[in-house]
Chains A and B, each alone.
Chain A
Amino acid sequence: MTIQAIYDAVVARDKAAVEANIQTALTEGRDVTEILNEGLIRAMEEVGEQFSAGTIFVPEMLMAALAMKAGMKLLQPHLASDNSQSKGTVIIGTVKGDLHDIGKNLVAMMLEGAGFEVIDLGVDVDSAVFIETAGTRQANLVALSALLTTTMPAMERTITALREAGLKIPVIIGGAPVTEAYARQIGADGYGIDAPRAVKLAKQLVAAA
């Protein structure tokens, strides 16, 4: 029952209730992986569904993610140190020349909510930095963001550079001017129209790799 209560508290965006129920679950000796997967991550999937369906809005998704994060913090000391619970490592950033990070931040937050380890390189990221980090951190996925029509070409340049460097990891792109057709055209492995759908895509691509 406690797991369901955690799930409900995340969906209800109730940070205090998430924390209290996780404490209870830990005291009861519940399996930490079960709390994480069935309580927190599955709840964030539901939150993502509600957002994509238009029944909840950005601030509500944000609150749910913050509630989940607070729960994660309580779980952290109990999680295996080998990171075996991680669903994979994602490198994310806005491409060179683009300083707009709101969409990118939302996607990063939802990826964390889905159990990925997220390495956020921030804004205005040079393709060399994506390449280097992808190599050293053995990333499973690269996520590129651009808000401006004028910085979209930098996504193509980044993908080309990644491929030329011999990195075969999947790349997803997103941002207001981006379309599915554009993603295909520049050789990306997919495009997320919103944060939850970017997460779905990330899961599929990492699972398939």
Chain B
Amino acid sequence: MIIIGELINASRPTIKTAIETRNTAAIERIAQQQAACGADYIDVNAGVFVDDEPDHLRWLVQTVQGATDKPCALDSPNPAALAAALTVHHGAPLINSISLESERYRALLPLVSAGDCRVIALCMSDEGMPETTDDRLRVTDRLITRLSAKNLPPEAIFVDPLVQPISMNKTYGNAFLDAIEQIMKRFPGVHTVCGLSNISYGLPRRGLLNRSFMAMAIAKGLDSAIVNPLDRTMMATIVAAETCAGRDDFCMNYLKSYRAGSLDER
């Protein structure tokens, strides 16, 4: 599983303050904690600072990469902010995210296709949010076709089929899960990713729903996720689900996690 650590997001008040006050130590600490808990990418988001976003995002990348050896997920639809972040980023970043919305697509494509980049491709188009599995597959197909034409290998594309709240419509869970299954089947090499906490919007005990849905998505082939790596029960669920889904030879990762104490209830 490819883990994208979501905690460095300026919509969280403590992060917003840390960015405003250039609190390097605070950002470094959160980056290191996430890396230690298994994050493969550290997401950085400075979206609440409209005009200063480029400066702030660049600073976040420098700070995170000064403290860890992880690449960043550059979380912005703003080409100026992404360009600023890319000037200082080491290694292959994950751009979060492009979509089929024409304005966003046009603005981000030059950045995505310029260097060694990976990109999250949101199943969103000018027609709006997808409802059904077929909606998602149509948008995925067009995004992959277009990105491939710009020489992005399948391995560089992370499709996010978009999770919609199960509280609004009982078909929303399966629409997403079936899309994961179909995308993994039809587009070999392509990754699927999601920030799945939207599933539990409007319901109590959200963690339980989020973990259950994670396990179901992993069973369908989901191979990356935007999560809080410090959430021990979620991370343990991911390990166990991957083992059950046959993605863990001789259960080695499960046992390694067990011996490291990361499966213990606390």
Min CB distance, A66 to chain B, in Å?
A: 12
Given contacts A99-B128, A99-B129, A123-B128, contact A58 B48 (CB under 8 A): no
Report the Cα distance A153→B49, complex, angstroms: 11
Report the Cα distance A62→B167, complex, angstroms: 9
Q: For residue A105, which residues in chain B have a CB less than 8 angstroms away from its CB?
A: 168
Report the Cα distance A59→B199, complex, angstroms: 13
Query: A99 and B101: CB pair below 8 A?
Result: yes
Report the Cα distance A57→B126, complex, angstroms: 31
Q: For residue B78, which residues in chain A have a CB less than 8 angstroms away from its CB?
A: 150
Given contacts A99-B101, A124-B128, contact A57 B47 (CB under 8 A): no
Query: B202 and A59: CB pair below 8 A?
Result: yes
Min CB distance, A195 to chain B, in Å?
A: 10
A45 within 8 A of B: no
Query: B129 and A57: CB pair below 8 A?
Result: no
Min CB distance, A83 to chain B, in Å?
A: 29
A120 within 8 A of B: no
B77 within 8 A of A: yes
Given contacts A149-B47, A177-B11, contact A57 B202 (CB under 8 A): yes
Query: A150 and B77: CB pair below 8 A?
Result: yes
Query: B167 and A149: CB pair below 8 A?
Result: no
Min CB distance, B208 to chain A, in Å?
A: 14
A102 within 8 A of B: yes
Q: For residue B103, which residues in chain A have a CB less than 8 angstroms away from its CB?
A: 97
Min CB distance, A82 to chain B, in Å?
A: 34
A87 within 8 A of B: no
Q: For residue A97, which residues in chain B have a CB less than 8 angstroms away from its CB?
A: 103
Q: For residue B202, which residues in chain A have a CB less than 8 angstroms away from its CB?
A: 57-59
Query: A153 and B50: CB pair below 8 A?
Result: yes
Query: A148 and B47: CB pair below 8 A?
Result: yes
Min CB distance, B93 to chain A, in Å?
A: 19
Q: For residue B167, which residues in chain A have a CB less than 8 angstroms away from its CB?
A: 57-59, 62
Q: For residue A62, which residues in chain B have a CB less than 8 angstroms away from its CB?
A: 167-168
Number of inter-chain CB pairs below 8 Å: 46
Q: For residue A99, which residues in chain B have a CB less than 8 angstroms away from its CB?
A: 101, 124, 128-129
Report the Cα distance A153→B168, complex, angstroms: 27
Query: B128 and A102: CB pair below 8 A?
Result: no
Interface of A, secondary structure class, is: loop
B92-106 vs A, CB cutoff 8 Å, 1 = contact: the mask equals 000000000101000
Q: For residue A149, which residues in chain B have a CB less than 8 angstroms away from its CB?
A: 10-11, 47-48
Query: A177 and B201: CB pair below 8 A?
Result: no
A142-153 vs B, CB cutoff 8 Å, 1 = contact: the mask equals 000000111001
Interface residues of A in 75-123 (CB under 8 A from B): 97, 99-102, 105, 123
Interface residues of A in 150-200 (CB under 8 A from B): 150, 153, 177
B165 within 8 A of A: yes
Find the A residue at minimum CB distance from B164: A102
Interface residues of B in 99-118 (CB under 8 A from A): 101, 103
26 contacts between A and B (CB under 8 A): A57-B167, A57-B202, A57-B204, A58-B165, A58-B167, A58-B168, A58-B203, A59-B167, A59-B168, A59-B202, A97-B103, A99-B124, A99-B128, A99-B129, A101-B129, A105-B168, A123-B129, A124-B128, A149-B10, A149-B11, A149-B47, A149-B48, A150-B50, A150-B77, A150-B78, A177-B11
What are the 7 tightest A-B residue pairs by CB atom distance, in nearest-first order?
Answer: A58-B202, A58-B167, A149-B47, A149-B48, A59-B167, A99-B128, A150-B47
Given A58-B202, A59-B167, 20 additional A-B pairs, CB 8 A? A57-B167, A58-B167, A58-B168, A58-B201, A58-B203, A59-B203, A97-B103, A99-B124, A100-B129, A101-B129, A102-B165, A105-B168, A123-B128, A123-B129, A148-B47, A149-B47, A149-B48, A150-B77, A153-B50, A177-B11
Q: Which residues of B contact A (CB under 8 A)?
A: 10-11, 47-48, 50, 76-78, 101, 103, 124, 126, 128-129, 164-165, 167-168, 201-204
Q: Which residues of A contact B (CB under 8 A)?
A: 57-59, 62, 97, 99-102, 105, 123-124, 148-150, 153, 177
